[in-house]
Structures are given as structure tokens and as C-alpha cells.
Structure 1
């Protein structure tokens, strides 16, 4: 819980500072240097690397698209609802839907133009800051990763799930820069705010679980009401005679 609070506070602090720098135009040199470093010097329309790398980047960036994230969210919510965890399903839907709404409002508020130094390798239709793909990937994958880690008793599995969520989020953001559709600071801002939002939602989930408003699958270690593990998994404890 302390780690989640720290990540949320740090993400909000960095995003606020970054947004101020972006609005003042102080990040232009940094953004331009990175974008141009990812393009062939002789042709800025050509990303560095072989052609298959660009195709892979398009595939990876689709993992942060509205269609894919909506599909994943609906699939998870459907699974939770059918498993009898309707409150958990509602919490996931509100968390991810709220993140999407926040991203849209901030884009309209900042109204930063898309990069004009290099041609865009994919079509874009909205403002640039913060990156919606980066932010919503963080919101969705980190929220779902935290949910799975919450109900998984083994630490190795917890670390794997959270690590997979983080790597996926990072790859989506990097692909947006590589394809020339976002300034690097757009992606950094999306990561920071998305991670902060996911951690806040996770803290809310823990609070609601403690109140009994959201289903708890695996009791927290140290809970006063933690039952015997054998009873929890349906096995009667043996009694001595």
C-alpha cells in the first residue's frame, strides 16, 4: 500500500511539472532531438531500422488502441461478472472508463499539436498531450495486473504479472514515439498520469475490499479475519484425538 501511495504521488508530481514545462515550450529541444534520432538522417520519413521493425511497432501500438483496450476491459469485466464478482467488474469498468475520460479531457485542455518534424506512420485524430495510448495502456494493464496480483497467492506469479503489465505499457509508449505520432514528453506524461491513476484505483479497491463492498478472493496476510488456509480452499483441517 505504501508503494502504491508513493507511485501515485510521484506520478502526479512528475506529470504536473512536465505539463508546466510543455506549456511553456521548454521541452521542444529535448523532444525534437529524440524524434530525429529515431529517423534516418537522409530521409526523416524513414524510421531507423529494417522495415519489419516499423511493422512490429504498428502491431505493438495497437495494444494501446481504444478498440483493443475496450475489448480487453469488456472481456475481463464479463469474466468477473460471470464468476459472481459483479462489484469487482464494476470497479474495473469505472477505473478504466474514468481514466479514458480523464485522458480525453486533458487532451482538449492542453490541445498540444502533434509532432510536425517527421511524417506520421499511422493516422491520428486527437491532440498530442498526454499520449492517450501511453496513459490508457498504463491505466488498463496496470489495473488488471494489480487485480490479478491481488488474487494470486504466489509472489513469483505476482511479480510476473505486474512485470508483464509494465513492459506492455512501456512498449506501447515507445512505439508511439518511434512512429512519429507523439512527442516523447507526451508519452512520459501519459505514463506518469496513467500509473498514478491505476495506483489510486488500486488503493480504492483495497479500501472497498476492507469494507466488504468489493469481493475479496484471497485474504490479506495479517488480516484479523484470515481463516485457516485449508478451510479457505475447501479442505477440513484434521483434529487430533
Structure 2
């Protein structure tokens, strides 16, 4: 008997993509202008020397070079311990795809950055590359460690750490005035969509491979 296609499983993908399209349309039409201005001004009210140093640090580790270093170190540890090349390939596809997607979207939308900021940044604003990189990197770290973490307590700590890093990197970009809040929202939505899509494809592929292997063993 042929299995029915699990259409309900598409709901998260559809919601993420639709919300991204809505956010992008709102940005292009200028509907988020007041919302973005209010959040930038609110973030500026919290400026202190200590907090600025903290946010500069989180912004730094969300930049390209630190992300690449963290990714290589993490992948090296994962591969040496579990010898799973498929995980390495998946990690690379998620990361490279996220970067490519960000470049294409920025060059297509060409949104200028906020005029006032605490640090100097170049390039276009929407969507936030730091946020997309954070979602891809720490999303993958959560996924890979989840597979090899048996205890509930350890999984809770792992998820808390990963989500906290994403939030801090994302907020740092608004605090420092180099991104609008809508840049962050758009980055989270499209990067989550990309991450979830690749993880789902990968999981289905592994199930098929496992099924084939089981059938061969029983023959």
C-alpha cells in the first residue's frame, strides 16, 4: 500500500517562507520604517560602555572569519569522534547555501544600512548576514550534538546555549545600529527555512539508505 504524502509536514516550511515573503514585501514598501526606527532608538537608550563591549564581541564572533573558524573546529571534533562524513557534508551545504542566499538577497533588494551606528559596516542591510550565519551555525551544532547526546539535561543545556548565541548575535546588530530589526527577522526566517529544508532532505535520504541497507542484509 502506497503511503500518503505527509502534507502536514510542509506547514513549517510554508509558514517560514510566507512570513519571509511578507517581511521582505513590507521592507520594500517601507511598511517597517517606523517599527525599525523605534527599535533602533529603544536599543540606543541602553547604550553603556560595558554593554557596547559585550555587543561588539557577539557581533565579532558572528562575522565571517570567526564563524568559519568555529565551524572548522566543531566539524573537526565531530568527525574525529564519530567519523561521519555525511554530517560534515551537510554542515558545509547548510553554511555555504546560507552565505550564497544572503549575497543574492542583498544584491537583489539593495537596502541601505541605518545612518547612525557604533561600528563601521559595509554592504547592504537586508537580510542580516550575521543572523543568517548564526542560525545556520548554531542550528547545525544543536542538530549534530542532539544526535549524540542521550540525556535530557544535556540537550536542554545545548539548546539553551545555541538559541542564546543566535539571540545575542542578532540583538548585537540592532544595538550597534548596523541593522534594522526587520533585517534580523528576515534573516532568521529565511535561514531557518533553508536549515529546515536541508535537514529534512538529509533525514529522508538517510532513512532510504538505511532501508536499502536493511533489505540487503535480509536477502
Work out whether residues 80 and 86 of structure 1, in 8 Å CA contact, stay in contact via their aligned partners in 2: no
- CA–CA distance in structure 1, aligned partners of residues 38 and 51 of structure 2: 21
- CA–CA distance in structure 1, aligned partners of residues 10 and 65 of structure 2: 30
Work out whether residues 4 and 199 of structure 1, in 8 Å CA contact, stay in contact via their aligned partners in 2: no
Higher relative CO (Cα under 8 Å, sequence separation at least 6) belongs to: 2
2:90 is matched with which residue?
91
Using the TM superposition, name which of 139-148 and 5-14 deviates more. 5-14
Work out whether residues 40 and 180 of structure 2, in 8 Å CA contact, stay in contact via their aligned partners in 1: yes
Write the deviation string for residues 210-235 of structure 1: whole angstroms up to 9, x where unpaired: 1338xxxxxxxxxx99xxxxxxxxxx
Normalised by the size of structure 2, how large is the TM-score? 0.85
Q: What displacement does 1:3 show?
A: 10
Query: Does residue 159 of the first structure (1) align with residue 164 of the second (2)?
Result: no
1:43 is matched with which residue?
none
- CA–CA distance in structure 1, aligned partners of residues 103 and 175 of structure 2: 22
1:230 is matched with which residue?
none
Work out whether residues 131 and 187 of structure 1, in 8 Å CA contact, stay in contact via their aligned partners in 2: yes
The correspondence of residues 48-67 of structure 1 with structure 2, limited to 5 A, is: 48-67=46-65
- CA–CA distance in structure 1, aligned partners of residues 18 and 8 of structure 2: 15
Quickly say closer, same or farther: Cα 1:38–1:154, change in 2 above 3 A: same
Normalised by the size of structure 1, how large is the TM-score? 0.78
Using the TM superposition, name which of 162-171 and 76-85 deviates more. 76-85
- CA–CA distance in structure 2, aligned partners of residues 190 and 207 of structure 1: 26
Q: What displacement does 1:2 show?
A: 10
The correspondence of residues 21-40 of structure 1 with structure 2, limited to 5 A, is: 21-40=26-45
- RMSD (CA atoms): 2.3
Q: What displacement does 1:157 show?
A: 2.1
2:99 is matched with which residue?
100
Structure 1 unmatched ranges of 5 or more: 41-47, 214-223, 226-241
Q: Work out the number of aligned pairs and report it.
A: 206
- Bigger Rg over Cα: 1
Structure 2 unmatched ranges of 5 or more: 1-5
